Homo-oligomer: A and B are copies of this chain.
């Protein structure tokens, strides 16, 4: 059911995709079954393994033929190797594909569920599809159930994976969820730090979207709303429902615009230092006064209000090879950098400037 050539559209930033079905509200996880395909050959539930001890499985409509894979999302950023291995295991188990893939967890688990869904129908390694609009076939029907708010992965086309040589997103219309469940009761137990770092991911990509050159009025509306809610949540005691809405709006904004300088730099920190995405973004955003000015001040106000202190000198232990790899990876983030700085971004965002930003973190 896809007739357009996604590639041209998306490069122009004007084909806006939206998740067609949402369940929203506290406790709606009990209605997940209404969104799922019939069991048939079995559905695949990919669940963040930290949720195992919270007995999450009891709240999910898991049938006899369904398969549960506990994903160790807490260990490190998800990799293309993990996705390929999981896909191979599923394919090896049965001659039939699962009728659906359900991801339950934070942004990493969302990304893995999206990637496995499309790697069940596209050949080769997921590392071949890191980039924009490289997938050739729709994936298996997929549902996202976030248990952490902020990444916007539930609403976006992006599945960020660490590959053999780079951390990079698979970005495709096929890597969007067919349905999502936004249940605020699932995020109520998230540790304070993690909640803030993940929330700041939303704050940051809303800023990157709003300050970027690829923005249009629709994306601006989503980003404005995401940013307002995010600020309200962290400075005025807004609710978990508002945080989930902020995350979804932020993700929806990014679908039709792009991230910017912060994301272009933060992938390097995750790759070389193993920093989680939300935390890495915070470390980077904290030194981007020249790029996002007043927004960085507001970000610091939020951190102070939550007694969170961002470390400094994080790159001091890295050798020059590692620094050069981070600079090289940043330079590959062409679309975010065009969004942030325009087509001639290389004139001002030189390897020297990137290096000095990393050194200042």
Closest to A14 in B: B25
Question: Are A21 and B16 touching (Cβ within 8 A)?
Answer: yes
Smallest CB separation, A123 vs chain B (Å): 24
Question: Are A23 and B34 CB-contacts (below 8 A) given A217-B239, A218-B245, A218-B248?
Answer: no
Q: What copy number does this chain have within its complex?
A: 2
Cβ of A256: which chain B residues have Cβ within 8 Å of it? 24
* Cβ of A17 under 8 Å from chain B: yes
Question: Are A20 and B17 touching (Cβ within 8 A)?
Answer: yes
Closest to A184 in B: B217
Question: Are A34 and B5 CB-contacts (below 8 A) given A24-B256, A218-B22, A242-B217?
Answer: yes
One of A75-83, A221-229, A272-280, A337-345 at the interface: A221-229
Smallest CB separation, A144 vs chain B (Å): 14
Closest to A182 in B: B218
Roughly how many angstroms separate A9 CA and B33 CA in the complex, as a whole number?
12
Cβ of A36: which chain B residues have Cβ within 8 Å of it? 3
Instruction: Tell which of B16, B21, B24, B220 touches A22, judged by Cβ atoms closer than 8 Å.
Output: B16
Smallest CB separation, A141 vs chain B (Å): 8
Cβ of A21: which chain B residues have Cβ within 8 Å of it? 4, 15-18
* Cβ of A216 under 8 Å from chain B: yes
Instruction: Tell which of B1, B9, B22, B217 touches A244, judged by Cβ atoms closer than 8 Å.
Output: B217
A: interface residue count bin = 35 or more
* Cβ of A37 under 8 Å from chain B: yes
Roughly how many angstroms separate A158 CA and B229 CA in the complex, as a whole number?
28
Question: Are B4 and A34 touching (Cβ within 8 A)?
Answer: yes
Closest to A21 in B: B17
Cβ of A224: which chain B residues have Cβ within 8 Å of it? 225
* Cβ of A28 under 8 Å from chain B: yes
Question: Are B216 and A25 touching (Cβ within 8 A)?
Answer: yes
Roughly how many angstroms separate A54 CA and B34 CA in the complex, as a whole number?
46
Smallest CB separation, A136 vs chain B (Å): 17
* Cβ of A249 under 8 Å from chain B: yes
Cβ of A16: which chain B residues have Cβ within 8 Å of it? 21-24
Closest to A9 in B: B34
Cβ of A218: which chain B residues have Cβ within 8 Å of it? 22, 24, 182, 245, 248
Roughly how many angstroms separate A15 CA and B16 CA in the complex, as a whole number?
21
Jot down 9 A-B pairs with beta carbons below 8 A, ordered by A: A1-B141, A9-B23, A17-B20, A17-B21, A18-B18, A18-B20, A24-B256, A217-B241, A217-B244
Interface residues of chain A, those whose CB is within 8 Å of chain B, are 1, 3-5, 8-9, 14-25, 28, 31, 34-38, 141, 182, 216-218, 220-221, 224-225, 229, 239, 241-242, 244-245, 248-249, 256
Q: Which 7 A-B pairs have the closest CB atoms?
A: A4-B34, A16-B22, A217-B241, A18-B18, A20-B20, A217-B245, A24-B218
**Contacts beyond the supplied A9-B23, A25-B216, A217-B244: 13 A-B pairs with Cβ under 8 Å:** A4-B21, A5-B34, A8-B34, A9-B31, A9-B34, A15-B22, A16-B23, A24-B217, A24-B218, A24-B256, A216-B241, A217-B241, A224-B225
